[in-house]
Structures are given as C-alpha cells and as structure tokens.
Amino acid sequence: MALINTIREKSGVAVGAVAVGMLLFIVGGDLIGGKNRLFGRDGNVVGEVNGQKIELPEFTAALEQAKQNFANQQGRQPDEQATGYLRDQTWNQLLYRRAFQPELDKLGLAVGDDEAVDMVQGDNPNPAIKQAFTDPKTGQFDRARLIDYLKNLDKLPPDAQAAFHNFETSLRDFDRPVNKYNALLKNSVYVTSAEAKLFDLAQNSKANFRYLFVPYTSVSDSAFKPTDAQLQDYLDRHKARYKVEDGRSIEYIVVPETATKEDSAALRQSVAGLAQQFRTAPNDSLFVRANSDQPYNHNYLSPADLPEQLRKQLPLKVGEVYGPYVEGNTLAIYKVTGAKAGTKPAARASHILIKADAQMTPEARAAAKKQAQDILNKIKAGADFATMARQFGTDGTKEQGGDLGWFEEGRMVPAFSKAVFAATSPGLLPNLVETNFGYHIVKVTAPKTNQTYQVAAVVKAVQPSDATREAAYARAEKLQADASSLDAFRALPTKDKTLQKQEAKFVPRDAPTVGNLPGSREIVRWAFGFNPDGGSATKVGDVRKFDIGDVHVLAAVTDSRDKGTATIESIRPELTAAVRNELKAKQIMAKLAGKTGSLDDLAKVAGPGAVVQNAEGVAQAQGTIPSVGFEPEAVGRAFALKPGQKSAPIQGEQGVLVVEATTLFPATPSDVKVVRQQLTQQRQQRQDGLIYEAIKGQAKVKDNRSKFF
C-alpha cells in the first residue's frame, strides 16, 4: 500500500510543469469520479466550469483524498493553514480538468494502447512510475521490480488495485493528452532572425544623454481638481490597467477579551501562594506539570541560558524559590533544584567595536586601530565605558552600553572568546582585541564560571477571568444592538473613544482573513453573501457580530465590486492622482512649447523643481533612468536622436522630460542563432502558465466556495 501511496503522491510529477502545481492531487479526483451526478442539488454546487457543476460531495471527497496524501507525505494531519492550501489545490485540480477537457476533445487528442503500455512499463515510463521504482541505494530505475509488481497486482488488496488502475486511467485519459496539448503549443513558438537582432540590439546598445526632468511633485496638487468626467475618460482609456476581481470592503471593530488590572492582581496573589507551596513541594517536576503553562525542563543551564531575572541573582542557592517575576504577559517563579559544574564555561562582557574589515586599506585599518587605542586610553584614565560605547560603538550593542550579556565559550569568534575567558576577574582588559570584525575594547563584567543550575519553572500567563470575558461579550452585544445601520456602526468610535475602527479594502473572495485578523475567514464568507443564520444574503450596509477565539468582532460591509473594470469610486484616489499628473504634464509642456536654448535654459522656464542631469550607460531595453525611475519613452527617444539633438517635451511616468543625446554605443552583433535559441527557450518556459491562464480565462468559471468554506 505504501508503494501505491508513493505512486499516487508522485503522479503530479509527469505534468507538474504543465499544470503549474495544479495536479498535485489529481488522483484524488479520479477516485471519486469527476462526472458523478448523484448529488445534483443546486444548493450543493461548489462551483461551475464550462457549464459543468462541481458539487459538494465531489469536492469534499477530493479534499479528503488530498488530506490523506498530505498526511502520508508529511507524517501529520494538516493544520488549519495547510487545510486552506489543500482546499485551493483541490479546487484548482477540479477546475483544471474541466477547463482542459473540452480543448482535448476538440483536437481529438488521445493515447493508443501501445503508448499506454509504454507509459507504464515501456522504454519511457511515466516519471511517477520511475520515481516509485527507483532503488534508493543506487538511484537507478529498477525495471525488474516494476514488472514483478505488475505481475502480482491482482494479489494486492482491492483498494490498492483500484488506486493503481485509477492512476493508469488518469495518465491515459488526461495527463498525457494535456502534455500533448501543451507540447503542440510550445513547439509552435518561433522567433525570427529579425526579432533576435532587435532583441540583441535593445539589450546591448548603450547611450549617454543629458535630460531635463520636471517632476510632477514640483507643481502643487491644489491647483488641479479633476472632475468625474475627466476621471471616467482616463479610466476608459486605460481599462486594461484597472482590471479587478470581485471584492468586498469591510470595516470592523475588535472588542478583545483583555485581562484587567484586577485579573493581573489576582494572578499575582495566586502565584505568590504557589511560591509558598513550591518551597515545600515533595516532587518539583510534578508540581510544575500541575501548575505551569509551560512544560518541565530538567536540563542544567549555564548563566548564558538562564532567564534574565535569575541571572541578576547569581550565584543561585539550591532549594531557593525566586520570584514571582513579571516577564511580558506572564508571571514566573523559579526553584533551583540542582547545581553542578558544566562542560562549558560562561562569562559576561561588554565591548566597543571599531570596525576595520579586511577590505580596508592598510592606512584605514591603522586609523581604526589608533581610534580604538585612544578610546581604551580614555577609559583607563576614568571615562565611563558605557558612555564611550554609546558614543563610539559601531554595532547593535552600542545602545546597551556595549553589553553582550552572558555567553558560553565558543559562541564568539576565537580571538574575542580567548581574551574574555582568559580573564580571572572582572574589569577592563588592558589591550585591544583584534578580530575579523575590527578592534574591540573589552570589559569583562562577570568572569568565566562552569557553574550550571537545574531550575524548575512555574510560568502562568495573565488571562482574562470569566467575569472579564463575560463583560467583553456583553459589551460586544451592546455595540451590535447600537449598530442598527452602517451610519450607526460608524458613529460608535465617536461615542466611545476606546473603540478603534479598521478597514480592509476590497477583500477577495478567497481571502483567508480580513486584514491581519486571525481566524476571520467566516467574516469573508459572510461578506460575500453567506449568512450563517440561513437568512437573506449579505448586502452592503449589513452589520454583524462574530466571536473569534478571544475577540469579538463587529463587522460591516461598506462596498462591493464585481469582476471586470474598476469603478471610479473604488479607485478614486489612484485615478485622481493619475489624472492630476496628466493635467500637470499639459501645463508644464505648454510652458516649454516652442522654447529654445540649452536644457539649463529650459529648466529656468519650467520653474522651481526642474533639474538637469546626466545619464550614462543606459541600455535601450532597460527603460529606467537613474535618479528618476521607469521612463521607457524618454529612454527610447534618447536612442532615436543624433548626438547634440534634443527631444520635444515628453509626458513621462514621474514627470515631464526633455532628453539630449550625447554619445551612443551601438551593440556588438551577437550570434543570431544563439540569441534565437535563448529567446525561444525563454518563451517556451512561460508557455505552461500562459496556456493554463488562457484556458481558465475562457472557461466561464463560477466560484461558490465561500458558501461552504
């Protein structure tokens, strides 16, 4: 059975590139039969592709198969995140089959008997077969083992036989025909010699040029207020740029179940009581297991690995209970249950690093060493080490006065470690320590010690009490009652300043969360029409409360958009900025129209903010001007001009430009045959994804997954 699982899991290898990862779980779909119509109620339709329904029982069975494959591969059941990924993979698998099948049928692509045999046991077995029957010791395909397996297939359990036959059927009826379909299109890719020459010219031709740049930011926004008619005109002219998927805008208020001061005080009192019991507990490990939120750790720890609060108490006493200490959102008490000499000593030190890496010139390294020695001399004369570290340190420890904390021998670079662990008492080391990082002034704050401690820790997180949870729930209920409309919902933060309203703009249908709110998939489903109460579908303006873990969320759907071209309202800020730049360009270009003189003369005409700069070694295909950004039209003009010739004003992406060619460096002709091969390979490598997206785009896909997941 393990072998069957291996084949099943590897079956996607044969067409992995073709499907762009969509066929990882293709066999699961075969096992339940993609054309099953026993459960044909419309209420169970997860989606539709090319008029063929994907029903809930079919989808669920395929998903369960995907989960089983995941468990076989990973050795564990999928968690929530992995399950979401598997749902997407299952959907894509079913979509992929239904989208491609009509195309295969149109061309009559099929696999004959001889070819089917060859795919399994011939000279060219399917990659999944080869993988399953490859000897792990030699890495060689074991044909004899494959033949033996096939001869004894009828003796395997029925489910194993069914799995293999389904694998063969999928290979013959779908996987190989898809390979053929993609190969037909990939082999049709052709690059002419003229294309290759133009490509080579664009990649390797270089130009130096001067340019006048008048950024749009140099003109005040307040002078331009685009009308809706202007926005619509711009949108109509650039529809392809503003294609969108369907989405919902959601505003939400989070009411967390947060521990109060009273909860913290109650926990502190409880932990103080535990500390008294801990001192006399007959079995420390059992006491930790019964009372701590974290498991018992029996290991001996050096000072480098002890909690910071305990390090401050060194040396520790066996049998003593320390704490309680506040550590983030927890309270902790520690009992020292043992002490012994460890195998590695630990020490604590501070340093001031003056960097001097190997790439420096000898003169620069000498200067760094002199600076470090001067600092060391000042500290010897009485200057405060921490103050000097904050002033002259060059690494991340400078803000802590150079403190490196505790560390075991061997954790630092050899020269530094040797110097620190050679010290027998705390204090400033008399000489600089040189490492590959530079020169260190070192102060040993705690000399080396081999002492280690076994520490039993009781750690309790500060949690909201039942009363606090009930109060948060009641507050959320009250807010929901007060939010009878979208306007009333939006008014809540003005009435209660402790509330904060957040917004997630146009959340897509398949989004796992709303913003950064964990576990909020249910809100996305609701926003797209699913009503958990079975009532009418959600619409813009609806408000609902969700209880998610330890937070309560009041959510409102504030906007909706369908797949297609964006509306003005949905992208008004972006459109306004684009139209405003067009209007600014017209104004700037009108100023420059008909003006003569040098670029510097034109800059004076353009006004404040205009700059004249040089660009050197710009490739024709690069399209980017240093210090300006992506300006393909301006770069193209530079290559079309003769040296000394200026262009007309150009409406660019970042501003208006005028370019003046200075020097052109034509490309040295390359081997056209080699360039053609390179271009052909590049285009063929992109074909798999492009073919799938093209077929998917015309497959009339209806996605109803949000109704179920």
Q: What whole-number percentage of the chain has pLDDT above 70?
A: 94
- State how far the Cα of 429 lies from the Cα of 442, in Å rounded to an integer: 6
* Residue 327 confidence (pLDDT): 85
Is residue 355 classed as helix, strand or coil in its secondary structure? strand
Those residues whose C-beta lies under 8 Å from the C-beta of residue 180, and which sit 6 or more positions away, are: 109
* Residue 27 confidence (pLDDT): 34
Residue 133 has pLDDT above 90, yes or no: no
546-572 average pLDDT score: 92
Residue 194 has pLDDT above 90, yes or no: yes
Strands 427-428 vs 438-461: parallel, antiparallel or unpaired: antiparallel
Average pLDDT, the chain: 88
371-379 average pLDDT score: 95
User: Taking the model in full, what pTM does it have?
Assistant: 0.66
Confidence of residue 32 (pLDDT cuts 50, 70, 90): very low
More reliable by pLDDT, 590 or 165 = 590
* Residue 9 confidence (pLDDT): 43
* Residue 606 confidence (pLDDT): 92
More reliable by pLDDT, 31 or 330 = 330
Give the tens place of pLDDT for each residue, 642-700.
999 999 999 999 999 999 999 999 888 889 999 999 999 999 989 888 998 899 888 88
Those residues whose C-beta lies under 8 Å from the C-beta of residue 245, and which sit 6 or more positions away, are: 508, 509, 563
Burial class of residue 410 in the structure, from the number of CB atoms within 10 Å of its CB (0-12 exposed, 13-18 middle, 19+ buried): exposed
More reliable by pLDDT, 526 or 137 = 526
H or E segment and range at residue 403: strand 403-408
Those residues whose C-beta lies under 8 Å from the C-beta of residue 149, and which sit 6 or more positions away, are: 3, 133
* Residue 72 confidence (pLDDT): 76
Confidence of residue 358 (pLDDT cuts 50, 70, 90): low
Residue 553 has pLDDT above 70, yes or no: yes
From 157-161, 284-288, 439-443, the region with the lowest mean pLDDT? 157-161
521-535 average pLDDT score: 86
Residue 256 has pLDDT above 90, yes or no: yes
